[in-house]
Amino acid sequence: MNWLRHELRCGAWEFISYRNRTIGANAHEAKYAQSNADFINKLEIALKECYETEYWLEILYRVNSMDDVTYKGLLNKSGVIRRKLIASITTVKNKKG
């Protein structure tokens, strides 16, 4: 069981690291979108990655791979990013009429 917990921790941290890079990459690519639909698509991909990151943070917290302060801090930062993505997507969708 300790082996499985170790593998889960390592895999989850790698997954979070990858997801954080893809959130930033998609948000950056959205700046150069070819259309509003392309912009929305890129931000929606980033939003999905953000939700997945929050899921993996919860997994790491539940297997005692991070303390309460770290978990809440990272979850809060992820929430800020998520809300900004949602606000940007909503703004563009509302402008489309």
**Tens of pLDDT along 21-57?**
788 888 999 999 999 999 999 999 999 999 998 998 8
65 contacts 7 by C-beta, under 8 angstroms = no
**Global pTM value:** 0.81
Domains of the chain: 2-95 (1.20.1440.60)
* CA nearest to 74, candidates 87, 89, 56: 56
* Chain-centroid distance, C-alpha 53: 4
End-to-end CA distance of the chain: 54
Cα 73 to Cα 78: distance, rounded to the nearest angstrom: 9
Compute the distance between CA of residue 50 and CA of residue 52 in angstroms, rounded to an integer.
Answer: 5
Q: Which pLDDT band holds residue 8 (cuts at 50, 70, 90)?
A: low
